[in-house]
Amino acid sequence: MENINGWQLYSTLPLIAAVLFIYFSANLAPRLRQPWIFRLSVIYAGLLVVPALISDVHYLYILSANKAEAHEYADNRTLADALEKIPVSGSMIATNDLRYPANGYRRDLEQFQLAAIFGQQNFAADLNYIGDTASMLAYKTRALAVLQAVQTLNPADPSCRATLAHSTTGITHFLIHKGYHQPQQIDLPLIYENSDYAVYLNTL
């Protein structure tokens, strides 16, 4: 299985090397009586620190101006409010939106919060980190078909009914994120609704 996050470990090596260079050069400069070595280490340290400070200031600006675009910020209050109406035990959720809300919803197929907030079981929450074995790839294909079917959620469509039927999937509830590939009309029992989400009972 390919480690798609391995680059994060190796990306720290240049920084570690730079810090070690600054440390040793700053300590060697007085002993060698070479002031230019010390000045070089100070300049090098500045080149490391200044970009980090600029990045921090920029991120603070994003947090103050538009939190939804921040990398770590995720407002899940309305999602938690909707999930609270679904039993933790014996339920299986399918949704029309698997985007993670941080970064302006730019991380698709990584909606970890669906399972993390209260612990409900989801037919799919994260499809990017499930592995690349044959069984996992088959599951991902099926999960994507379920995702597409929930985005239309037309009980009158035999194909949609077959894809989402409780008898074959175990799905008990549909969590619909309004305004994102939202079905125009859902002829299923509505359990709960707030400004961003609606929860339906699967009677297919």
Q: How far lies 126's CA from each of 114, 147, 170, 178, in Å?
A: 9, 12, 18, 20
Question: What's the whole-model pTM score?
Answer: 0.78
pLDDT per position as a tens digit, 78-108: 999 999 999 999 999 999 999 999 999 999 9
Per the structure, the complete domain to which residue 12 belongs is given by 6-65
Residues 94 and 160 in one domain: yes
Decide: 123 and 202 in contact? Cβ < 8 Å: no
Residues 110, 24 within the same domain: no
Give pLDDT, residue 10.
78
For residues 32 and 102, membership in a common domain is answered with no
